[in-house]
């Protein structure tokens, strides 16, 4: 095969290499996922349950709204619920993410954090990343193109593909990158009721890429909204963010509509140097004009629209979402050169619709069926390094790109799926969940145009060549069929002891099958002490953008096993402490390795995604939560002071399984402290007003919240010539007033990075081999930012 001499071409080529290259199946005995018999079984099961439920529902003279799972759980637990099982003045929260059915968080066989709507509002969080950075064991890091990536328990993937992000159970992970942050790293939260975060593997329930975490974002229902919520927000950097939220119940029809628009010029990010700065020093000896734009400020400008709807009628739900985002400029990421530029731009689009039918056939039997369709589109144009001159290894000039390197990437993808689930209470102390799913996704109309190989092939430097024309063996289309079955059984052995066992099988049309088991034991040692012992496994598939070199025959599936021990202790009614220990063994880790030497500057080696070994991680997570209320006398304005705090700390030690060297660029220590004060007007049973009632209506509720994030030192790789990246601390403050002068008028004011600290995320390795491709000074974060939001609810 013809080998290009320019590395950039090889890197771009590797991104779009085919996945169907004859991988060995993980289990040779597994039947192929594309079996039509499997599909028919799933469809027949759904139709059968639907028909049964249809006869039962039409036989009733007067139809009533079906009971919710949460309501039946509350009812069934009333007789056995201990008064000591209270968490911070309320019943223990009910979660739905751990088992795809409602259960007490204290009984769930997973380590889960819950962030409520009140928590989000109090801390002034605007996006999902601002919430996740406060969770123990979770770190948020900017990548080369300033897209936020989620690091969980020492594991980081280039596209956050080890974390599955859901909205109301619908996956946002795209088929192109395998993760959700490329499209949704700035997902807004104005329509969110609560967020449930599983730390640890969850493939036994959610399949591929629920590797180290699952984040389930649960939106508000029409009951929660019951009216109209209009808001307008803004901040420095020319940021404007209006939104609209509507929720109403019309007879038995629940309607929810949501619209959010966001535009910003981006923060002023100062870069002293970039990759082309080192290039300029290298070419200065040949008296070539410098081409780097550094030092200078760089802005990541964005414009985004987000629309969503939900319709519910009895047991039927129809929901969907449309998101369109435009970014310009950004640092290149379809190329190795980390260079400032003014001309790169990107458009991302995602839309989906999902229909679900959920109903109780009896008080012990609930079934649900849902089908969905997703559409993804990527349109990216990169142009940078104007005036770039290429040299061969002998120092001779190969040619010049006066308009720089240009890359255009376009791709479309769709995903269709069907899922059936049955929740059955076999006995009084036994809950069984059974499910089956079918999914098919396809990437099509994919194209990659680049001029990076034009000079090598004798074309003008601005000539854009289609990679398929250069290499006819490349196929930019990709598809996959997945058949899944899963089962999980929870058995209450004793009133204080629960055992959970689960198993899932995923069968892929192109690579055989994967089985992932799960086991957990929950023991209530005393009314105030709860213990969990958990084992889980998970797997992560290589994404379309992580396609291996087409000549490689290695299997690119990462495997993970985690052992966890968790304890929650409530020594006082107002105080809750949680502590977890985990050990994770990750095998067949997918990373970029170096290929052959191309002998061409500025990039000398190809990039190949392949399994290179594994890592072992162990660590501890600690969290302390407390809240209290106290009536305070302010004379004419009686008030209630509500104080809450949330303190967490996490330690993780991630090391290479063979060399035992520390995994670079990840903080071993991280802590977060949030403390809030809420002053609310006293509500009198006789609805009396105080002497000067007009002052009471100035604001019924004041909320002041401080959040301090502390991140420890991040060590470099052994080949990186730079010192370790020092730790940092960031202090945020949010002031919120409710019913300001008028009922329903709320005002929020936040200061992000109050102390205006300079802090950074690690850029790619700077070594003797990669000195010409990275940013030496790491990726800066914005300085002090002011955010103001006015909301009116009616």
pLDDT of residue 454: 85
Q: Alpha-carbon torsion 192, 193, 197, 198, what sign?
A: negative
Euclidean distance between CA atoms 337 and 774, whole angstroms:
7
Query: 7-793 falls under which CATH superfamily?
Result: TonB-dependent receptor, beta-barrel domain (2.40.170.20)
Backbone angles phi, psi at 524, to 5 degrees: -95, 95
pLDDT of residue 331: 84
Structure tokens belonging to residue 770: 């990669």
pLDDT of residue 92: 75
pLDDT of residue 21: 30
pLDDT of residue 91: 54
Which residues share a beta bridge with 195?
115, 217
N-term to C-term CA, the chain: 67
pLDDT of residue 46: 43
pLDDT of residue 407: 92
Cβ–Cβ < 8 Å for 153, 617: yes
CB atoms within 10 A of CB 14: 21
pLDDT of residue 635: 54
Q: Alpha-carbon torsion 542, 548, 550, 551, what sign?
A: negative
Q: Which residue has the tokens 């660590």?
A: 619
Residue of 221, 246, 242, 225 lying closest to 233 (CA atoms): 242
Q: Which residue has the tokens 């009116």?
A: 792
Cis before 602 (ω within 30): yes
Say if residue 275 is exposed, middle or buried (CB neighbours under 10 Å; 0-12, 13-18, 19+). Answer: buried
Q: Where are the domains of the chain?
A: 7-793
The whole-chain average pLDDT of the chain stands at 82
Cβ–Cβ < 8 Å for 341, 384: yes
Euclidean distance between CA atoms 638 and 770, whole angstroms:
65
CA angle 59, 60, 62 (to 5 degrees): 145
Collapsing DSSP states into helix, strand and coil, what is residue 117?
helix
Euclidean distance between CA atoms 225 and 223, whole angstroms:
6
pLDDT of residue 477: 82
Residues of the chain below pLDDT 50: 1-67, 69, 72, 74-90, 548-555, 593-611, 684-696
Structure tokens belonging to residue 479: 């598809």
> Where are any strands of DSSP class E within 200-272?
213-219, 227-235, 239-250, 253-264, 269-271
Query: Counting every residue, how long is the chain?
Result: 794
Cβ–Cβ < 8 Å for 147, 140: no
Q: Alpha-carbon torsion 81, 85, 89, 91, what sign?
A: negative
Euclidean distance between CA atoms 736 and 721, whole angstroms:
46
Which residues share a beta bridge with 380?
346, 409
β pairing state of 430-450 and 465-466: antiparallel
Helix (H) or strand (E) holding 205: helix 203-206
pLDDT of residue 654: 92
């Amino acid at each position: 095969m013809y080998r290009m001499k320019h590395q950039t071409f090889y890197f771009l080529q590797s991104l779009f290499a085919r996945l169907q290259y004859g991988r060995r199946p993980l289990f040779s005995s597994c039947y192929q996922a594309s079996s039509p018999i499997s599909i028919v079984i799933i469809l027949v099961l759904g139709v059968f349950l639907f028909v049964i439920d249809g006869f039962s529902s039409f036989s009733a003279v007067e139809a009533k709204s079906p009971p919710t799972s949460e309501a039946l759980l509350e009812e069934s637990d009333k007789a056995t619920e201990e008064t000591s099982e209270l968490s911070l003045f309320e019943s223990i929260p009910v979660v739905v993410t751990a088992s795809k059915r409602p259960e007490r968080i204290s009984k769930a066989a997973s380590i889960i954090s819950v962030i409520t709507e009140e928590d989000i509002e109090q801390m002034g969080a605007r996006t999902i990343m601002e919430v996740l950075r406060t969770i123990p064991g979770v770190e948020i890091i900017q990548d080369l193109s300033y897209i936020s990536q989620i690091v969980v328990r020492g594991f980081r993937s280039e596209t956050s593909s080890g974390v599955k992000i859901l909205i109301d159970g619908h996956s946002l992970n795209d088929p192109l990158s395998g993760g959700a942050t490329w499209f949704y790293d700035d997902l807004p939260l104005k329509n969110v009721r609560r967020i449930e975060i599983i730390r640890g593997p969850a493939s036994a329930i959610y399949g591929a890429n629920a590797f180290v975490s699952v984040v389930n974002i649960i939106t508000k229902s029409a009951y929660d909204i019951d009216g109209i919520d209009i808001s307008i927000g803004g901040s420095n950097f020319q940021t404007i963010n209006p939104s609209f939220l509507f929720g109403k119940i019309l007879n038995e029809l629940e309607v929810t509509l949501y619209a959010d628009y966001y535009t910003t010029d981006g923060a002023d990010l100062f870069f002293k140097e970039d990759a082309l700065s080192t290039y300029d020093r290298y070419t200065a000896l040949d008296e070539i004009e410098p081409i780097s734009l550094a030092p200078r400020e760089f802005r990541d400008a964005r414009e985004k629209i987000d629309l969503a709807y939900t319709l519910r009628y009895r047991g039927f739900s129809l929901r969907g979402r449309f998101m369109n985002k435009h970014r310009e400029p950004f640092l290149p990421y379809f190329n190795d050169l980390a260079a400032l530029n003014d001309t790169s731009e990107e458009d991302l689009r995602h839309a989906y619709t999902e229909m679900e039918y959920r109903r109780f056939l009896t008080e012990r039997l609930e079934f649900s069926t849902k089908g969905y369709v997703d559409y993804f589109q990527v349109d990216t144009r990169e142009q940078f390094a104007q005036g770039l001159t290429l040299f061969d290894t002998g120092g001779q000039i190969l040619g010049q790109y006066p308009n720089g390197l240009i890359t255009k990437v376009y791709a479309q993808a769709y995903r269709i799926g069907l899922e059936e689930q049955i929740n059955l209470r076999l006995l009084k102390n036994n809950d069984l969940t059974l499910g089956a799913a079918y999914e098919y996704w396809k990437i099509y109309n994919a194209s990659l145009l680049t001029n990076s190989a034009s000079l090598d092939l004798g074309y003008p430097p601005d000539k854009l060549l289609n990679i398929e024309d250069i290499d006819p063996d490349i196929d930019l289309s990709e598809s996959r069929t997945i058949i899944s079955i899963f089962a999980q059984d929870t058995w209450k052995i004793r009133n204080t002891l629960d055992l959970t066992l689960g198993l899932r099988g995923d069968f892929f049309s192109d690579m055989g099958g994967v089985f992932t088991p799960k086991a957990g034991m929950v023991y209530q040692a005393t009314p105030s002490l709860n213990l969990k012992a958990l084992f889980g496994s998970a797997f992560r598939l290589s994404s379309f953008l992580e396609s291996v070199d087409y000549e490689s025959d290695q299997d690119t599936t990462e495997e993970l096993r985690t052992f966890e021990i968790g304890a929650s202790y409530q020594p006082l009614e107002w105080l809750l402490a949680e502590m977890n220990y985990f050990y994770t063994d990750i095998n067949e880790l997918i990373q970029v390795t170096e290929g052959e030497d191309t002998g061409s500057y500025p990039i000398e080696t190809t990039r190949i995604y392949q399994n290179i070994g594994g890592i072992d991680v162990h660590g501890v997570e600690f969290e302390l939560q407390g809240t209290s209320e106290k009536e305070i006398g302010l004379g004419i304005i009686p008030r209630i002071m509500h104080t809450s705090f949330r303190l967490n700390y996490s330690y993780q030690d991630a090391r290479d399984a063979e060399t035992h060297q520390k995994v670079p660029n990840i903080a071993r220590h991280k802590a977060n402290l949030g403390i809030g004060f809420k002053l609310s007007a006293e509500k009198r049973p006789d609805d009396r007003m105080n002497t000067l009632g007009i002052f009471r209506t100035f604001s019924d509720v004041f909320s002041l919240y401080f959040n301090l994030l502390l991140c420890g030192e991040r060590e470099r790789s052994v080949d990186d010539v730079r010192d370790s990246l020092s730790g940092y601390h960031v202090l945020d403050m949010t002031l919120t007033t409710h019913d300001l002068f008028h009922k329903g008028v709320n005002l929020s004011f936040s200061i992000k990075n109050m102390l205006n600290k300079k802090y950074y995320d690690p850029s790619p390795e700077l070594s003797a081999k990669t000195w010409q491709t990275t940013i030496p000074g790491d990726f800066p974060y914005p300085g002090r930012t002011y955010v103001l939001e006015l909301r009116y609810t009616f």
